[in-house]
């Protein structure tokens, strides 16, 4: 990636490393004090290569952080009830402290029903209705990992949200919607945009903080970015391409996340941090 802009890169890799270092220390302390090692269970339905790669990556990160991982693989032909049964079993297992259901699930599986089979106390990926409600009302719970990671990056780089206009492009239940609620909790004025938004470029050009979370490569053109804006690119497409036209946007932004190395590392770091916190809560310990 050649940077020919004035924007400052938001280094998610470096920030994530610090989060993982703290999570590793906490996991070791928990194991030392209780004899219990935090455990993250991953559930993968089907044989999508990209999903399998993501799961392996998370398992490898767990091992490096001193977190046990358990993997449940279900065939492409699995029914919703079969997947729900598997997730419910993990929810009831005291040796499992966090549950991650890799998404998207095959089209025949009701993903929402599967998510709702996760015990909220183990919802370390923040995908249940309970977690979204807690996040929206500012109550204790687990955040969706990518939005949580974005907020950590914004804090790390001293981005002031109060009174600023934040535009979120995308409205998925595990990314677009929750990041908007977190920005609102930070006293930003939030606008959601989506596939039916009229005059999208005009709206994005009004954003002090612009979050691209739609999953369409380079949808956000450089000319759509306000001068001095903070640009968060939460998209990823093959070839290390995000949702934002990086070079052109970086010539206008003050801060911007690269792809890769921006939001992605933060997602995994928050997942592992929340897994350790879930284990501590279930064991009646404070970190």
Q: Which tokens go with 213?
A: 């979370």
The stretch 7-19 carries a mean pLDDT of: 97
The answer to whether 64 is a known catalytic residue is: no
Note the pLDDT tens digit of each residue in 162-211.
999 999 999 999 999 999 999 999 999 999 999 899 999 999 999 999 99
Note the pLDDT tens digit of each residue in 110-144.
999 999 999 999 999 999 999 999 999 999 999 99
**pLDDT reading at 2 higher than 70:** no
Do residues 148 and 123 make contact, with C-beta atoms less than 8 angstroms apart?
no
Q: State the pLDDT at residue 287.
A: 85
The stretch 21-38 carries a mean pLDDT of: 98
Q: Domain 145-263, CATH 3.20.20.140 — does that match?
A: no
Q: State the pLDDT at residue 6.
A: 78
Tell me which of 58, 122, 177, 226 is the catalytic residue: 58
Do residues 277 and 27 make contact, with C-beta atoms less than 8 angstroms apart?
no
* 35-121 against 145-263: fold identical: yes
The answer to whether 125 is a known catalytic residue is: yes
Q: State the pLDDT at residue 229.
A: 98
Note the pLDDT tens digit of each residue in 76-98.
999 999 999 999 999 999 999 99
Q: Which tokens go with 121?
A: 């106390």
Exposed, middle or buried by CB within 10 Å (0-12, 13-18, 19+), for 11? middle
Indicate the average pLDDT of the chain. 96
Between β-strands 189-193 and 209-212, what pairing exists: parallel, antiparallel or unpaired? unpaired
Note the pLDDT tens digit of each residue in 53-68.
999 999 999 999 999 9
The answer to whether 102 is a known catalytic residue is: yes
Write down the domain spans for the chain.
Answer: 35-121, 145-263
Residues with Cβ within 8 Å of 116's Cβ and at least 6 positions away in sequence, in order, are 128, 129
Tell me which of 26, 102, 233, 243 is the catalytic residue: 102
What is the model's pTM? 0.95
Q: Domain 35-121, CATH 3.40.50.10860 — does that match?
A: yes
211 DSSP β-pair partners: 168, 232
Tell me which of 119, 125, 233, 243 is the catalytic residue: 125
Within the chain, strands assigned E span 8-9, 39-45, 68-74, 98-101, 165-169, 189-193, 209-212, 230-233, 255-256
DSSP line for 64-101 = HTT-EEEEEEE-TT--HHHHHHHHHHHHH-TT--EEEE
Q: State the pLDDT at residue 255.
A: 98
State the distance between the two ends of the chain, measured CA to CA, in whole angstroms. Answer: 39
């Amino acid at each position: 990636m050649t940077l020919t802009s004035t924007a400052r890169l938001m280094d998610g890799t470096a920030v994530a490393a610090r989060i993982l270092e703290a999570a590793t220390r906490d996991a070791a302390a928990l194991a030392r004090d209780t004899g219990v090692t935090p455990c993250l269970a991953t559930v993968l339905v089907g044989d999508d290569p990209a999903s399998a790669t993501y799961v392996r990556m998370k398992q490898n990160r767990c091992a490096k952080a001193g977190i046990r991982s358990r993997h449940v693989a279900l065939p492409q032909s699995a029914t919703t009830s079969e997947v729900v049964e598997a997730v419910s079993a993990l929810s009831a297992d005291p040796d499992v402290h966090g549950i991650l259901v890799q998404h998207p699930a095959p089209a025949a599986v009701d993903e929402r029903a599967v998510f709702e089979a996760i015990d909220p106390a183990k919802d370390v990926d923040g995908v249940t209705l309970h977690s979204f409600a807690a996040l929206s009302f500012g109550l204790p719970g687990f955040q969706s990992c990518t939005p949580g990671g974005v907020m950590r990056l914004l804090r790390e780089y001293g981005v002031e949200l109060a009174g600023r206009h934040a535009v979120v492009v995308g409205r998925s239940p595990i990314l677009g919607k929750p990041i908007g609620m977190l920005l609102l909790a930070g006293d930003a004025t939030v606008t959601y945009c989506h596939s039916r938004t009229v005059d999208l470029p005009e709206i994005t050009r009004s954003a002090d903080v612009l979050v691209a979370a739609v999953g369409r490569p380079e949808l956000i053109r450089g000319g759509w970015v306000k001068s001095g804006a903070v640009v968060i690119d939460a998209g990823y497409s093959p070839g290390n391409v995000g949702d934002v036209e990086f070079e052109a946007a970086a010539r206008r932004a003050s801060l911007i996340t690269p792809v890769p190395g921006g939001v992605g590392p933060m997602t995994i770091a928050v997942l592992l941090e929340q897994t350790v916190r879930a284990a501590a809560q279930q064991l009646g310990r404070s970190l």
